[in-house]
Each structure stands twice: as structure tokens, then as C-alpha cells.
Amino acid sequence: MAEREYRNLSTPELVEAALRRDEGKLASNGALVVETVPCTGRIPKDKFLEDSPGIHDDIWWGEVNKPVSSETFDLLLDRARKHVDSYKEAFIFEGFVGADPEHRLAVRVISHYAWHSLFARTLFIRPKPEELENFKPDWTVLNVCDLHVDDYKELGLHSEYAILQSLERKTVLIFGSRYGGEIKKSLFYAMNYDMPAQGVLPMHCSANVAQDDPDNVALFFGLSGTGKTTLSADPNRRLIGDDEHGWTDKGVFNFEGGCYAKCINLSKEGEPQIYNAI
């Protein structure tokens, strides 16, 4: 690992580290603002899934689920690990995806940037101190966004940016892109694969519940940017979550512990729950 590892730092500590490392600036309301240019969104053409025997027949291969060989994954996994070893500082978040203790994944996110660790801490489920004792991740994300895949053509990839995921090794590799959403969506992909076997329906939706009736749950489905967050932030109802949920025989639960909202035109008057979360 890196010369110095910062594991499970608090929010103030991560903000201070990000500012010290010149990763971003503070907004007038105290929020940390970062830039991810040129990747200001996810890059689906650069997302690849390891085609291994154990999962081959489970996947609908095509434009969305593009295969990469185990040999290529091995090579890039080794490259990512060695790159992390070269860091002077690395930041590690450990926690959970899934608010239902019976249906969740333990995750470890290793990153070059402090703000990526802050992103994970803000968005996912923070563990209790006792849950960090002997913590063993189900999934590991290696975010080496400062490393590009220069030999992408020889490896059969789309560009120097690459997001690779292995469902059998339960590992995600992020090359080139600083966009935090790649961490989030890769672990949502993991939930989409792992949860149905546990009797959970994974859903890309927002959800809220009536103030006085826990059985009165509303789900809002739609692609990114279509208004799920806005519709679920009803001042007369309680927000369950704004983007990813699971549905079991016992009810609906949030995969996450925070909000994933677009900030443009966001106001305290229009969407107080989301504004205050940010």
C-alpha cells in the first residue's frame, strides 16, 4: 500500500485533506466543490465486465455489458495495485451498501483523492465502530483515476479511460476518470447482480413514505436527470432515498445513506430535504 494510509477518516478530516492537497474549494455554504474535467459524467463506452466462466451465462452481453478477458483484467489489476503502492497517501473508506442489515454488501473503497473517500463516506452506509473490527469487504474498489491505460488499443478497450468490474473477484478498477459516480454505479451494479439471489428486487428509483403510514410507500422510476429526486422530496412525506432501493417481502430499503442530487437550480425553498443533505 501507499506510504501513508488514511483509513475511515471523519468528514472534517477528509475535507481538510482535500483542501490541503488542492483537490477542491469550499463553497459559501461550506460544501466541498471539486472538478472532474474531462469526465463530468459516467463513461459507459469505457465500462467493461470480466467474462469469466462462473458468470458468463448469467450476463446479457452487448453494448451495455461489454466483455473483457480475464487476462486483461489480471494485467490491469496488477497495474492498479502497483500504482496504489506508489502513492505517498491513499484514502480508504469501509462501510456498507444497503440499509437493511440482512441485505447489504460490505465495501472497501481505496482512492488517490481524499474527496473520493469523502464521496463514499457521504453516500454509502457508515459502519458502527464495532462493525469495523475485523472488517472484511465483500467488494473492493481500486480508484486509480490518476492512471490512464495508454495501451488500451492493444488491450481491446475503448480509450485510455477504463472502468473494469469482476463479479467473481468482486473487484472494481477505475482508470482515468475522477467522476465520483463511477464508484456509486459500479457498486449499484454489484447489488443488481448479488441481491436477486437473496430475494431482493434492485431498483433505480427514488422512494418516500407517508408520515403516519409505513405501508404507504411511493416509488419514482426514471433515468438519471428525469426528476426522481425532485418528485420524492415531498415536504408532506418522509424521504426514504433518492436513487437506489431494494424491495423485499418485508418492504423497501435504501441502498445508500445519502443523496445523489444534481445541484443546479437547487434551493432550500424548493427542495429543503435535498438542500439540507448537501
**Rounded to the nearest 5 degrees, what angle is found at the Cα of 239, between the Cα atoms of 95 and 223?**
80
Quick one: pLDDT band at residue 180, thresholds 50, 70, 90?
Answer: very high
pLDDT tens, position by position, 6-61: 999 999 999 999 999 999 999 998 999 999 999 999 999 999 999 999 999 999 99
> Could you identify the residue written with the cell 459500479?
186
Q: DSSP state, 129?
A: G
Q: Smallest Cα–Cα separation from 109: which of 17, 194, 2, 183?
A: 183
pTM above 0.85, yes or no: yes
Domain chopping of the chain, boundaries = 4-198, 201-277
Is 111:23 a contact under the CB 8 Å cutoff? no
pLDDT tens, position by position, 212-259: 999 999 999 998 888 898 889 888 999 999 999 999 999 999 999 988
Q: DSSP state, 128?
A: P
Q: Residue 200 corresponds to which cell in the numbers above?
A: 431482493
Q: d(Cα 171, Cα 180) in Å, to the nearest integer?
A: 17
CATH 3.30.230.10 fits 4-198, yes or no: no
